Amino acid sequence: MAVLNEEQTMLRDMAREWADNESPVTAFRNMRNAAPAEGYDSAAWSEIGQMGWGGIVVPEAYGGSDFGYLSLGLVVEQLGRNLAASPLASVGPAATAIAMGSSDAAKNDWLGKIATGDAVATLAIDEGPVHDPATIATAVADGKLSGTKEFVAEGDSADLFVVAAADGLYLVAGDEGVTRHSRTMADARSHAQIVFDHAPATRLGGTDLTQKIVDRATAVLAAEMLGMAEQAFAVTNDYLKTRVQFGQPLSTFQALQHRMAKQFTELELMRSVVEAALEAIDAGRSDIDQAVSLAKAVGGETLKLVSREMVQLHGGIGMTDEYDAGLYLKRAAVLEAMWGNAAYHRERFARLNDY
């Protein structure tokens, strides 16, 4: 655990308590079964808005708390533990794009609403099934943006899109020129295709803004993955202690103990790299890109290990829909691919280090 200040500790504890009381895994399961169009739990999102978590990375002048990315990561990690279906991980980085790149008027229009949860903003970056920010065909002419974005998280309901065009980021608000196509995916969350056809768009300024924002989104995602991995591991550890075979709890078998010790070891490394990425963002370090790729690559491999072991170590019950292991497995695989899988980030890390 990173060394936290008082407000961060309070925020983390509050998020954990809220997630355990108000958003346990059964809440996610209920959302999945009800299958609302927005792909998240809107009642829970409204509570999150009231608690101000939408504004954790929004500047104070615009109604946020400006606690920073480590704080946002701590909250998202707690929500991730219980697979809480909320757009928070998309909203934060999108808010930063607006805070960094837009006019005061646009900030006034949107940041306050984002901070209170009254507006959902999201990122529309990729144009294919694999993260590839270097290949973007979306273009803007005369303030009108056209292009097709794939697998846009919260795309089914977002009020506001931060869209990557070939020459940088743009803000698209409202439905003019915007068509949404739902995609039903294994994790039962919203990942829509968004077709922009001459949608009115405002340029978001700043150098390398696309990369900065995608890096932030990736770091927050890694925090969600950390929460999931830790909880998946904890559930498996508990299960091994209760499941009796050959007259003994499974947890007494050394072959299984060592598999758990291996996962624990990787989880400790994962925590270090994820927290370091979030801290690098808050400190404004020059090597945020490296820190983020390290976090996503190491974190992706660890979540993959832990979520697959969760199913295997549960045995047959892990294969049933009634049990939670499958929910973690399916969400894990989606997050592993999102914003670049481990191989993508290893290659990026290697290029940054001249390997």
Per-residue DSSP letter, 107? H
In the chain, the largest separation of any two C-alpha atoms, in whole Å, equals 74
Beta strand pairing status for 121-124 and 160-165? parallel
110-119 per-residue burial string, b: 16 or more CB within 10 A, e: under 16: bbbbbbbbeb
Tokens of 235: 């559930």
CB-count exposure of residue 328 (10 Å: 0-12, 13-18, 19+): buried
CB of 268 to other proteins, least distance (A): 5
CA distance linking residue 84 with residue 87, whole number of Å: 9
CA distances from 288 to 111, 166, 227, 257, 301 (A): 24, 22, 21, 36, 20
Q: Is 132 in the site for other proteins (CB under 8 A)?
A: no
Nearest Cα neighbor of 278 from 59, 54, 77, 97 is 77
CA distance linking residue 106 with residue 129, whole number of Å: 31
Q: Which is nearer to other proteins, 31 or 294 (CB)?
A: 294
CB of 353 to other proteins, least distance (A): 7
Per CB under 8 A, the segment of 48-56, 58-66, 167-175, 290-298 that binds other proteins is 290-298
Tabulate helix, strand, coil % of the chain (nearest 5).
55, 15, 30
Q: Is 150 in the site for other proteins (CB under 8 A)?
A: no
CB of 153 to other proteins, least distance (A): 26
Q: Is 346 in the site for other proteins (CB under 8 A)?
A: yes
Q: Is 262 in the site for other proteins (CB under 8 A)?
A: yes
CA distance linking residue 164 with residue 288, whole number of Å: 20
> How many of the chain's residues bind other proteins (CB under 8 A)?
43
Instruction: Return the residue of 4, 14, 51, 100 that touches other proteins, per CB under 8 A.
Output: 4
Instruction: Return the residue of 276, 310, 332, 335 that touches other proteins, per CB under 8 A.
Output: 276
Instruction: Return the residue of 51, 106, 260, 337 that touches other proteins, per CB under 8 A.
Output: 260
Tokens of 201: 């768009």
Q: Is 354 in the site for other proteins (CB under 8 A)?
A: yes
Tokens of 213: 């924002």
Q: Which is nearer to other proteins, 254 or 286 (CB)?
A: 254
Instruction: Return the residue of 254, 284, 286, 322 that touches other proteins, per CB under 8 A.
Output: 254
Q: Is 239 in the site for other proteins (CB under 8 A)?
A: no
Instruction: Return the residue of 8, 96, 157, 218 that touches other proteins, per CB under 8 A.
Output: 8
Q: Which is nearer to other proteins, 4 or 195 (CB)?
A: 4
Phi, psi angle pair for 202, to nearest 5°? -110, 135
Per CB under 8 A, the segment of 73-81, 93-101, 221-229, 241-249 that binds other proteins is 241-249
Binding site for other proteins (CB under 8 A): 1-5, 8, 237, 240-241, 248-249, 251-254, 256-258, 260-262, 264-265, 268-273, 275-276, 279, 283, 294, 297-298, 346-347, 349-350, 353-355
